[in-house]
Structures are given as structure tokens and as C-alpha cells.
């Protein structure tokens, strides 16, 4: 489940990155894009290796898996927000 949710978030952010110049330049959404796609690839490799080694189901659809998806997206957003606060692209924190 978390593979699907993280990949869906990455696809949505990629669409925003592709269509919005303001998001690309001001809000550094490319960084969030890289974080989410990197997480998607990491989770895909984890699922493939776990499925190959242990067998069983490839996608786990449980409340715990959904909660992990939410936690992963919140963590990605927190990392992106921390970079935005540190870089301060609009210069709002320097005044």
C-alpha cells in the first residue's frame, strides 16, 4: 500500500513541477519531487527483495500500511519544509 501511495504522491508532485513555473522557481518543488521518487524507488526495491526472499503478497493492504504511507509523506514534506525554511526563497525570514 505504501508503494502505491508514495508513487501516487510522486506523480502528483511531478505534474505540479511540470506545469507550474512558480512552484519550480520559488518553492523548490523539484526537491520534493526527488525525495518522493527516491522513496518510491527505495520502497519498490524493498518490496521486490522481500517478495523474492520470503514470498507472500507483494502489496500489503492493511491499516498499518496506510498509516506508514501517511507517515512517509509527512516526513518527506517535513524535509522539504526544512529546506525551504533554511533557504528562505522569498526572503521572509531575514527581515
In a domain, 12, yes or no: yes
| Residue 95 pLDDT | 59
3-state percent breakdown (helix, strand, coil) of the chain, nearest 5:
80, 0, 20
pLDDT at res. 34? 95
In a domain, 74, yes or no: yes
Residue 94 lies in a domain: no
- Tally of domains within the chain: 1
Residue 43 in any domain: the answer is yes
Domain region containing 25: 2-87
Pick from 78, 76, 77, 68: which is nearest to 47 by CA? Answer: 68
Cα angle 86, 36, 88; round to 5:
15
Instruction: Tell me if 21 is assigned to some domain.
Output: yes
In a domain, 67, yes or no: yes
* Contacting residues for 69 by C-beta, under 8 A, at least 6 apart: 1, 2, 4, 5, 6
Q: Is residue 92 part of a domain?
A: no
The string of pLDDT tens digits covering residues 6-65 is 999 999 999 999 999 888 888 889 999 999 999 999 999 988 998 889 887 888 888 998
In a domain, 95, yes or no: no
Amino acid at each position: 500500500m505504501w508503494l502505491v501511495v508514495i508513487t501516487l504522491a510522486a506523480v502528483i508532485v511531478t505534474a505540479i513541477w511540470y506545469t507550474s513555473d512558480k512552484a519550480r522557481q520559488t518553492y523548490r518543488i523539484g526537491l520534493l519531487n526527488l525525495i518522493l521518487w527516491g522513496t518510491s524507488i527505495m520502497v519498490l526495491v524493498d518490496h521486490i527483495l522481500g517478495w523474492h526472499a520470503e514470498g507472500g503478497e507483494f502489496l500489503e493492504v492493511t491499516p498499518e500500511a496506510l498509516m506508514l504511507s501517511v507517515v512517509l509523506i509527512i516526513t518527506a514534506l517535513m524535509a522539504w519544509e526544512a529546506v525551504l525554511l533554511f533557504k528562505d526563497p522569498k526572503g521572509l525570514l531575514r527581515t
